[in-house]
Structure 1
Amino acid sequence: MHDGERSEPKRKKTIEPIRWFFDRDAEARGEPGLRHSFIMSLATTISHAGYVVDPVWVMGASGFAFRIWIEQRLQPSAMNLFDWPSILPSSVERIGFDCTHVWRDGAEDDIQKGREAHATIVESIDRGIPAVVWDPTDPPLWHLIRGYNDHTRTYDVLSCWRHATSLPYEQLGHRDVEALSVITLGTPNGRDEAEAFLDSLRVAVAHAEQREGSAGPVTDGLAAFELWARLIEPGGLPAHDLQFADYFAATYRTARCYARDYVARFAAGSRPLGEAAVAYAVVAEELRPVWETFRIEKRPLDERLEELAAAVRRAGIAERTAIAAIKRHLASISD
């Protein structure tokens, strides 16, 4: 330390306990409940901050009820290869909260972004609210940072798969996947519910038509269903690449269960929205045996794989019907 410089006291703080939010009503109906790691982490953060979590609203308004990303080897982390700055903050804001998002992609080496992300995490934890962070622990998904310690220079991490661990400060954004994304929850923004609903329908259409933006070996939107079917049918992938097939099936079956309930909630007076809700119910039902089979069998017999691939293709047809109905509704209110 040089003459005249001041040494800042080292600080530490950990938020505990944090209880993960589960959609027990969905689980009681035999549905998977919240599964995408970003939404799981965000819902837990909202709940911990003292707000009531409506999982149907969170999934629907955020747009995650309508999204699908399929990667060529069914790797779970690839569900997150999308345009973070355009999708994540707007998803949180439609739910009804302001937020702060600090990010950089793998092509950047921005020291200032790392400092900004650290300061954002510390500020949130000091308010008693964990931060939603990309890849602070295995597997490379969205998890929570719930504490920091300037002496050990580590973050306290709570995995969305329910284990606790730590992350050195210098590894933030530089761990398994070279990318940085930190979301912290702000205050309620008073967003009009009807406006947020319509905006989420526009998101559903944009995603279906591949206008949201994805990255790497990922197919999104309506085209994702055909790729998914090809990957799980006999000869599509080697057995070891089917190890996460249950995770994909759970994530997208439950998403369409939420799409069904979300659209139905606002469908009164709109025939197209009623048709969309029915179509999403078909998607969810077609994906049910896919989830139920892969959660028990890592590599089903070829005959069963053919049946499951056919179910995914039928789900894709129903999804196309749902999107067409949503487009008719949006056109009717703009006339």
Structure 2
Amino acid sequence: MRAWQVAETGEPERVMRLAETERPEPGPGQLLVEVLAANVNFPDALLCRGQYQIRPPLPFTPGVELCGRTEDGRRLIGTPVLPHGGFAEYALLEEAASLPAPDALDDAEAAALYIGYQTGWFGLHRRARIAAGETLLVHAAAGGVGSAAVQLGKAAGARVIGVVGGPEKAGVARALGCDLVLDRHADDIIASVKEFTGGRGADVVYDPVGGDSYAKSAKCVAFEGRIVVVGFTSGTIPAPALNHAMVKNYAILGLHWGLYAKYAPRTIAECHRELTRLAAEGTIKPLVSERVPLEGAASAVRRVAEGRSTGRICVLP
């Protein structure tokens, strides 16, 4: 089969090589699946660089999210078992952790429902306990993780402010349903959020960016607001001033979605049932901005790593 291989760590386009390899052999509790669609995520770039929390043995195949078909014809979504990632014609899934692909979504959309939407749902509902009528501020609102949070925030009845980088991404955020779109390059984020909320600030902030985005969030979060820390695509991990959180009465909430599989696995299936319902209603629909052949995977990972993509880029083996 054809699969992308990383034999040394470094920038994705330098270290990823498309090669002929043997199909992976499933171990106990694992399923061999034909990869129907594998979406590109920021962790794919971190894996290539050797900077992800999981470091698979070299050589490995990146691709942390896929929709695949089993030998008996089931269409499943999940995180492939590394080192056999999704940028290949075949991969492995843990049967206990895989989920049925929603009928309402095609292969690329179904794959995108896994990491981004599960993370968004847990962040907004389990961690922040978002309520209808509240104001949600989403950083990187046109990206794969941010676009999911925007749709889930609207589904929860929140007013959504989307922060993006540039006019093209602003258009994407508006199309997703943001009530207010702010360009971090051109707009005063703090003043605009305060004006939009009548001085109150954002009740919930969803931040996959970190760095300066977090610093601005802390200055425009509401009394008893919640900042959900999802990741650090900016490359800068903020050092929050806890005295500021105390005097302003807001909460800083960490979210590592993968821990639910270890400590509360039933909640992932419960979340998937809710996401499947919302997809069937048409309330949520993953934004797949590009569909590229397997040969385009390395370039796609680079574009995502550089923040030049919107929604999800899908690799179609």
| TM-score with structure 1 setting the length | 0.27
Q: Is the strand fraction higher in 1 or 2?
A: 2
Higher relative contact order (CA 8 A, sep 6+): 1
**Which protein has the larger Cα radius of gyration, Structure 1 or Structure 2?**
1
From the two aligned structures, give the one with the greater helix fraction. Answer: 1
